[in-house]
Structure 1
Amino acid sequence: MSDDTPPADKPILAKKAVTLGGLCDVITLLALSFTWLGSLGRYGWLFDLLSHFRLQYVIVCALALIYAWIRRRIWLVLISLISVLWNAQIIEAFHQTAEVADTTREKALRVMTFNVLTENKNQTSAISHVMQTDADIVCLLEVDDTWRASLEPLRIKYPHHVEELSDVNFGIACYTRLPMKSSEVRRFTIWWLPTLVLNLDHLGRPLTFIGTHPIAPMSDQRAHEWREQLSGIATLVSGLPGEVILAGDLNATPWCEGMRLLREKGGLDFRSVDPVWPPTWGLDLPMMIPIDHVLTKRGLTIQKRTLGPETGSDHRYVTVEIVRSAP
Structure 2
Amino acid sequence: MNIHPKLRLGLTAVTLVVAALALLVSGLSTIESNEWWIRIWDFPRLQILTVIVVAAIALGLLQGRRFSWIIAPLLVAGGWQFYRIMPYTMLQSPEVALADASLPDETCFSFVSLNVLQYNRDYGRTSRLLKREDPDIVLLLETDAAWQTALEPVLSRYPSRLDRPLDNTYGLLFATRLPMASGTIEDIAEPDTPSIMAQLATKHPFVLMGLHPRPPHPGQDTEERDAEILIAARRAARLDMPVIAIGDFNDVAWSNTSQTFKRIGGYLDPRIGRGTFATFPADLPWLAWPLDHVFMTEEFTLRDIRVLEDVGSDHRPVSARICLTPRAGAWRNDRPDTVTAEDRETAAEVMEEYREDQAEEARGED
Where does residue 77 of structure 2 map in the other structure?
83
Give the Å deviation of 1:21: 4.5
- Secondary structure class of the residue paired with 1:248: strand
List per-residue Cα deviations over 1:25-56 (Å, max 9, x = no partner).
24412213322321334575433221111110
- Which of 6, 12, 16 is the equivalent residue of 1:25? 16
Where does residue 10 of structure 1 map in the other structure?
none
Where does residue 150 of structure 2 map in the other structure?
150
Give yes or no for the alignment of 1:106 onto 2:100. Answer: no
Amino acid at match of 2:135: A
- Which of 25, 34, 45 is the equivalent residue of 1:34? 25
Q: Distance in 2 between matches of 1:34 and 1:187?
A: 33
Give the Å deviation of 1:22: 5.3
Amino acid at match of 1:135: P
Contact 1:38 1:48 in 2 (8 A): yes
Give yes or no for the alignment of 1:185 onto 2:179. Answer: no
Give the Å deviation of 1:109: 1.7
Where does residue 211 of structure 1 map in the other structure?
210
Where does residue 39 of structure 2 map in the other structure?
48
Change in 2 beyond 3 A, CA 1:19/1:116: closer
Equivalent positions of 1:1-327 (< 5 A) are 21=12, 24-41=15-32, 44-70=35-61, 71-72=63-64, 73-95=67-89, 96-107=94-105, 108-203=108-203, 205-219=204-218, 221-272=220-271, 275-285=274-284, 287-323=287-323, 324=325, 325=329, 327=331
Change in 2 beyond 3 A, CA 1:65/1:21: closer
Give the Å deviation of 1:153: 2.1
Give the Å deviation of 1:190: 3.2
Q: Distance in 1 between matches of 2:123 and 2:11?
A: 51
Q: Distance in 2 between matches of 1:143 and 1:246?
A: 19
Structure 2 runs not aligned, ≥5 long:
332-366
Q: Distance in 2 between matches of 1:166 and 1:151?
A: 15
Amino acid at match of 1:134: D
Contact 1:181 1:200 in 2 (8 A): yes
Give the Å deviation of 1:220: 6.0
- Secondary structure class of the residue paired with 2:281: coil
Larger radius of gyration: 1
Contact 2:120 2:313 in 1 (8 A): yes
Q: Distance in 2 between matches of 1:17 and 1:174?
A: 58
Where does residue 8 of structure 1 map in the other structure?
none
Q: Which runs of 4+ in 1 moved over 6 A?
A: 14-20
Q: Distance in 2 between matches of 1:124 and 1:18?
A: 53
Change in 2 beyond 3 A, CA 1:39/1:255: farther
Contact 2:88 2:276 in 1 (8 A): yes
- The worse-fitting range, judged by mean Cα deviation, of 297-306 and 173-182 is 297-306
Change in 2 beyond 3 A, CA 1:318/1:232: same
Q: Distance in 2 between matches of 1:254 and 1:137?
A: 22
Change in 2 beyond 3 A, CA 1:69/1:245: same
Amino acid at match of 1:33: L
- The worse-fitting range, judged by mean Cα deviation, of 314-323 and 29-38 is 29-38
Give the Å deviation of 1:151: 1.9
- Secondary structure class of the residue paired with 1:118: coil
- The worse-fitting range, judged by mean Cα deviation, of 287-296 and 88-97 is 88-97
- Secondary structure class of the residue paired with 1:226: helix
Contact 2:118 2:143 in 1 (8 A): yes
TM-score (norm 2): 0.78
Where does residue 11 of structure 1 map in the other structure?
none
Q: Distance in 2 between matches of 1:23 and 1:256?
A: 30
Amino acid at match of 2:153: P
Q: Distance in 1 between matches of 2:121 and 2:234?
A: 37
Q: Distance in 1 between matches of 2:39 and 2:190?
A: 22
Amino acid at match of 1:61: I
Q: Distance in 2 between matches of 1:251 and 1:158?
A: 27
Give the Å deviation of 1:313: 0.8
- Secondary structure class of the residue paired with 2:279: coil
Give the Å deviation of 1:307: 1.1
Number of aligned pairs? 313
TM-score (norm 1): 0.87
Contact 1:273 1:303 in 2 (8 A): no
